[in-house]
Amino acid sequence: MTAARLSTRPRLLVLGLDGLPFSLARSLAPRLPNLARLMPHAHAIEAELPELSPVNWTSFFTARGPGDHGVHGFTILDPATYTLRIANFGDVRVPTIFDRLGAAGLVSRVVNLPNMAPAKPLRGMLIGGFVAESLTRAVYPPFLLGPLNAAGYRVEGDTTRGANEPEYLLDQLRASLAGRRAALNLLWPDLAWDLFVFVLTETDRLFHFLYPAVEDENHALHDACMALFTEWDALLGEILDRYDALPEPKGLVALADHGFCALKTEADLNRVLAGAGFLRLARPPRDEWDAGCIGPLTRAFAMDPGRIVLHRTGVFARGCVRPADEAALLADLRALLLELRYEGAPVMERVLNGREFYGTDAAPDLICVPRHGIDLKARFDRTAIFGHFGRFGMHTPDNAFFAADMTAAGTNMPKTADAARVRDVGGLVLLYFGLDDAQRRAGLIL
């Protein structure tokens, strides 16, 4: 490619700020100068439901909702064997925005985007993110593995000790930030790309364990958290400086995949269902993920975080729910969940019919949306509905950070283009590059 083409091709930078709430960003911006650079273009958007990273990042990189792309949570259950496994890129049912751009001859470079492993070929370069089993399986083309390993790049820092060893957690997040910087230095400089996606997941990991410390200036760990945020902000500044140095036309988008808030308690929905007789175990569970204990008398069970699934005949090997019984059973389940209380207040904000909400039968039967502070779980070995298990922050479906600066984006972008939820941001990417069906699908022309 000629130097002239490299200097004039339209480019788009997408910054992923995993789990960053808009309201928190606004309060921290006076202390974080590079985050402050995004705030004039920022507002809150909605996450897709359930408000999990694999659901929402997949919605971004497909510009479609879960009913289309097929990822509804962290886990997928085999209906024949009752084995739970972690969802991955192979479960995505529709083309990605990178497929669409590649078919148009455009090049993407992608760093740390969740649910894009195992990596598949694309026109460009990819370092997949959480929950990649290994860096080896997350990288395309394979030659990237050598320099990334040499730089000490890791898919994720070790957060397993985060609940009890906050300093260890912070050190791990610093190390993963250093790896993200190394990846930026490797993939950005030649400018032989049209779309650059760069995701920082360290905020989400910090918030799960130390969100109260971030919010509360009087917390004993607040200064330590802000020291990490200062390092995070410095890396944010490095990529924004690189963006500023790009020739026009260019565009910038930043988004979080969901919001965050302080956690009051976890609420285990399988314990709720078992207590009401809807979930019947055939044997004691071996661990929290042992769905093989679901017995033939079970009428409904839960999957992370708030997915309720009917145990249908003809679908599950031991299923017992007949089509004629489904409507009454769903009504009973919905009533049970809406009546659930914690400290006298309702647990649920909403309980939605999943098939109606997603527009497909290949969906959970009910989607539970809890009130802020109550984190829904779906374990098989818990003995109580409510409890704390080492985390102090939780995802929210509202208040997700979004910012876009398209003032130099050229003629493809209508002045009224915006995003209301995560899938729309993928639509903005397609729209920027002139792939006009994104306008109709995502409703971006207001």
Q: How confident is the model at residue 410 (pLDDT cuts 50, 70, 90)?
A: low
Residue 437: the pLDDT is 62
**Fold topology of 3-259+396-442:** Alkaline Phosphatase, subunit A (3.40.720)
Residue 111: the pLDDT is 98
Asked if the model's pLDDT at residue 423 lies above 50, the reply is yes
Ranges assigned E (strand) in 143-244:
195-200
| Residue listed under structure tokens 């969901």 | 258
Summarised one tens digit per residue, pLDDT across range 13-56 is 999 999 999 999 999 999 999 999 999 999 999 999 999 999 99
Percent of the chain with pLDDT over 70: 93
End-to-end CA distance of the chain: 37
Task: Give the pTM.
Answer: 0.95
Residue 414: the pLDDT is 60
Q: What is the mean pLDDT of the chain?
A: 94
Alpha-carbon span 429 to 97, nearest angstrom: 8
> Residue 147 corresponds to which amino acid?
P
Q: How confident is the model at residue 8 (pLDDT cuts 50, 70, 90)?
A: confident
Pick from 440, 438, 383, 396: which is nearest to 45 by CA?
396
Q: How confident is the model at residue 162 (pLDDT cuts 50, 70, 90)?
A: confident
Alpha-carbon span 267 to 310, nearest angstrom: 20
Residue 52: the pLDDT is 96
Residue 445: the pLDDT is 34
- Residue 115 is classified by DSSP as T
Summarised one tens digit per residue, pLDDT across range 217-231 is 999 999 999 999 999
Q: Are 397 and 46 in contact (CB under 8 A)?
A: yes
Asked if the model's pLDDT at residue 85 lies above 80, the reply is yes
Pick from 440, 422, 428, 438: which is nearest to 55 by CA?
422
Q: How confident is the model at residue 4 (pLDDT cuts 50, 70, 90)?
A: very low
Asked if the model's pLDDT at residue 69 lies above 60, the reply is yes
Asked if the model's pLDDT at residue 126 lies above 90, the reply is yes
Summarised one tens digit per residue, pLDDT across range 313-369 is 999 999 999 999 999 999 999 999 999 999 999 999 999 999 999 999 999 999 999
Helix-strand-coil split of the chain, %, nearest 5: 40, 20, 40
CA dist list (Å): 218 to 183, 224, 262, 363: 35, 12, 15, 44
- Give the start-to-end residue ranges of the domains of the chain: 3-259+396-442, 265-387
- Residue 72 is classified by DSSP as -
Average pLDDT over residues 301-317: 97
Asked if the model's pLDDT at residue 186 lies above 50, the reply is yes
Q: Does 63 or 3 have the greater pLDDT score?
A: 63
Pick from 364, 271, 312: which is nearest to 67 by CA?
364
Residue 118: the pLDDT is 97
- Residues β-bridged to residue 421: 46
Residue 438: the pLDDT is 43
Sign of the Cα pseudo-torsion (280, 283, 288, 291, in order) = negative
